[in-house]
C-alpha cells in the first residue's frame, strides 16, 4: 500500500537528515511522528521512527555519563610540571603518593582501591612538582578520561610491584600506553612521534624492594629495561630510596632552572625560572615579561659562562643553575 506521505512530513524528514546534533534530530523526528499519516501503509515506517527515537534518546542519556567520567579525570596542573603515576592494581601507587607528597590517597591491600586521579605536590629542592595518582591500568579496559589525563602530563612514572613479575607488568603498561597512542620515551633524545601520537618521558620504578627476594626480581627487571629507560628500586612503604626518586623524577622532565637578577642586586635563588632544556637568554626574557624580548640588548651570565658575569647574546643557551642579568 502506498504511504502517501504529506509535504509536511517530507519537510520534517529533510530537517531530520540535515540535523547535526542529537537534540536537533529528536526534534525533527518528533515532527515526523506527529504528521505522518496514520494508516496501514505507514505502519512499518512508523515502527522504524519509533525505534530510531528510542535510540536517540538513549544516546542523549549516555552522553553526560561519558562527559562526567572524563571530567572526573581532569586534573588542573600546578607547580613546575605534572607527572602521572601509572601501574597495575596494588603496585603501590597510592602509598607512594601519600609518602612523597602531602596528599593522601586511600591505600588498601585489595586491588582497584583508587577510583579517580588524585593529585599531590612533591617538593624537590626549590620546586614543586605535581604527581597524580590514578586508578590501576587494566589490560582489557581504558577509562574514557585516561588517555587525555596522560597526554597532558609532562612525564610518566611507571610503577611495578617487584614481588609480582615486574617484567610482565611493565609489558602490560607499555602495551596499554600504545593503545592510547602514547609512547613512553626513555633515555636519549626524544624523536618526534608519529601523527596522532604523543611521546612522554618515563621513569620505571620497582616498588616493594624491601621484601625478601624483591631485589633479585629487580635485577632481572633492570637488565631487561635499563638500556632504554631510567630505572630504580624503591620501597614506598618503607620510605627507601625516595630522595633518589625525587631527583630522577626531576631528570625526566627535561626542564632546567635559572635565576634572574637585577644589576647590583643578589639573585633570588628561591624563585627559579623554569624553562625547557635548550632554552636561550631570549626565552628567559620572555618568561619575565613579553615586552622584554623586543627590548633585550644583551645579558650577563653567572654559572655556565666562561667567567662570571660574561656578556652573552640573546641566542645564548642557558644551563641549569645559571644566574642571568637581563640588560634592556
Ligand atoms: N611490602 C610493601 N608493601 C607495599 C609497599 N607499597 C605499598 N604496599 C602495599 O601494597 C598494597 C597496595 O597499595 P596501594 O598503595 O593501595 O596500591 P595501588 O597501586 O594504589 O592500588 P590500586 O589503587 O588498587 O591500583 C597495600 O597493602 C600497601 O600497603 C611497599 O613498598 N612494600
Ligand atoms: Mg591506589
pLDDT digits over 192-223, tens only? 778 889 999 999 999 999 999 999 999 999 99
Q: Which residues line ligand 1 (CB under 6 A)?
A: 87, 89-95, 107-109, 111-114, 136, 207-208, 210-211, 235-238
Radius of gyration of the chain (CA): 28
Grade residue 141 by pLDDT with cuts at 50, 70 and 90. confident
Distance CA 154, CA 306 (A): 32
Backbone torsions φ then ψ of 39, nearest 5 degrees? -145, 175
Grade residue 2 by pLDDT with cuts at 50, 70 and 90. low
pLDDT digits (tens, 9 = 90+) for 108-125: 998 889 989 999 999 999
Grade residue 283 by pLDDT with cuts at 50, 70 and 90. very high
Task: Identify the CA nearest to 302 among candidates 279, 322, 277, 280.
Answer: 322
pLDDT, position 69: 66
Distance CA 182, CA 202 (A): 11
Examine the pLDDT at 181 and tell me if it is beyond 80: yes
Burial class (CB in 10 A: 0-12, 13-18, 19+), 64: exposed
Task: Identify the CA nearest to 274 among candidates 247, 253, 291, 300.
Answer: 253
Measured in angstroms, how far is the CA atom of residue 112 from the centroid of ligand 2? 7
Measured in angstroms, how far is the CA atom of residue 86 from the centroid of ligand 1? 13
Q: 69: which 3 cell numbers?
A: 567520567
Q: Confirm if 205 and 234 have CB atoms less than 8 A apart.
A: yes
Q: Which atom of ligand 1 is nearest to the CA of 234?
A: 31
Examine the pLDDT at 65 and tell me if it is beyond 70: no
Measured in angstroms, how far is the CA atom of residue 88 from the centroid of ligand 2? 9
Task: Identify the CA nearest to 33 among candidates 16, 57, 9.
Answer: 9
> Which residues are CB-neighbours of 48 under 8 A, at least 6 positions away?
none
Distance CA 161, CA 163 (A): 5
Distance CA 300, CA 211 (A): 52
Query: Own/partner pairs for 165-174, CB < 8 Å, 24+ apart?
Result: 165/217, 166/206, 166/217, 166/218, 166/220, 166/221, 167/220, 167/221, 167/224, 169/87, 169/88, 169/91, 170/204, 170/221, 170/224, 170/225, 172/88, 172/137, 172/139, 173/86, 173/87, 173/88, 173/137
Element (H, E) at 87: strand 82-87
> Which residues are CB-neighbours of 128 under 8 A, at least 6 positions away?
78, 79, 80, 121, 122
Strands (DSSP E) contained in 113-223 are 118-124, 127-133, 155-161, 182-185, 198-207
Q: Which atom of ligand 1 is nearest to the CA of 107?
A: 16
Measured in angstroms, how far is the CA atom of residue 134 from the centroid of ligand 2? 7
10 Å Cβ neighbour count for 241? Answer: 18
**Alpha carbon of residue 88 to chain centroid:** 17
Q: Confirm if 82 and 152 have CB atoms less than 8 A apart.
A: yes
Half-sphere exposure of 107 (CA within 13 A, CB side): 13
> Which residues are CB-neighbours of 169 under 8 A, at least 6 positions away?
87, 88, 91, 160, 161
| Ligand nearest, relative to CA of residue 99 | 1
Distance CA 295, CA 293 (A): 6
Q: Which atom of ligand 1 is nearest to the CA of 89?
A: 25
Grade residue 66 by pLDDT with cuts at 50, 70 and 90. low
pTM: 0.79
Backbone torsions φ then ψ of 275, nearest 5 degrees? -135, 160
Amino acid at each position: 500500500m502506498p504511504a502517501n506521505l504529506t509535504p509536511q512530513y517530507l519537510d520534517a524528514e529533510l530537517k531530520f537528515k540535515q540535523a547535526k546534533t542529537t537534540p536537533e534530530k529528536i526534534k525533527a523526528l518528533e515532527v515526523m511522528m506527529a504528521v505522518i499519516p496514520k494508516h496501514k501503509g505507514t505502519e512499518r515506517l512508523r515502527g522504524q521512527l519509533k525505534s530510531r527515537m528510542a535510540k536517540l534518546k538513549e544516546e542523549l542519556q549516555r552522553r553526560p555519563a561519558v562527559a562526567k567520567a572524563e571530567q572526573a579525570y581532569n586534573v588542573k596542573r600546578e607547580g613546575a610540571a605534572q607527572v602521572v603515576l601509572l601501574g597495575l592494581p596494588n603496585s603501590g601507587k597510592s602509598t607512594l603518593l601519600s609518602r612523597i607528597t602531602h596528599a593522601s590517597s586511600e591505600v588498601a591491600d585489595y586491588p582497584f582501591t583508587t577510583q579517580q586521579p588524585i593529585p599531590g605536590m612533591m617538593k624537590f629542592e626549590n620546586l614543586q612538582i605535581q604527581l597524580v595518582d590514578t586508578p590501576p591500568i587494566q589490560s582489557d579496559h581504558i577509562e574514557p578520561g585516561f588517555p587525555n589525563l596522560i597526554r597532558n602530563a609532562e612525564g610518566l612514572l611507571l610503577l611495578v610491584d617487584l614481588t609480582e613479575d615486574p617484567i610482565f607488568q611493565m609489558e602490560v603498561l607499555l602495551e596499554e600506553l600504545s593503545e592510547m597512542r602514547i609512547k613512553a620515551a626513555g633515555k636519549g633524545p626524544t624523536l618526534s612521534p608519529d601523527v596522532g601520537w604523543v611521546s612522554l618521558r618515563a621513569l620505571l620504578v620497582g616498588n616493594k624492594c624491601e621484601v625478601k627476594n624483591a631485589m633479585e626480581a629487580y635485577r632481572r627487571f633492570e637488565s631487561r629495561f635499563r638500556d632504554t629507560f631510567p630505572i630504580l628500586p624503591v620501597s614506598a612503604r618503607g620510605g627507601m630510596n625516595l630522595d633518589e626518586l625525587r631527583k630522577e623524577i626531576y631528570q625526566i622532565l627535561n626542564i632546567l632552572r635559572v635565576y634572574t637578577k637585577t644589576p647590583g642586586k643578589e639573585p633570588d635563588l628561591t624563585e627559579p625560572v623554569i624553562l625547557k632544556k635548550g632554552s636561550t637568554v631570549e626565552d628567559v626574557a620572555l618568561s619575565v615579561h613579553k615586552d622584554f624580548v623586543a627590548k633585550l640588548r644583551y645579558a650577563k651570565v653567572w654559572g655556565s659562562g666562561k667567567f662570571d658575569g660574561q656578556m652573552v647574546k640573546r641566542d645564548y643557551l642557558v644551563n641549569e643553575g645559571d644566574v642571568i642579568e637581563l640588560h634592556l
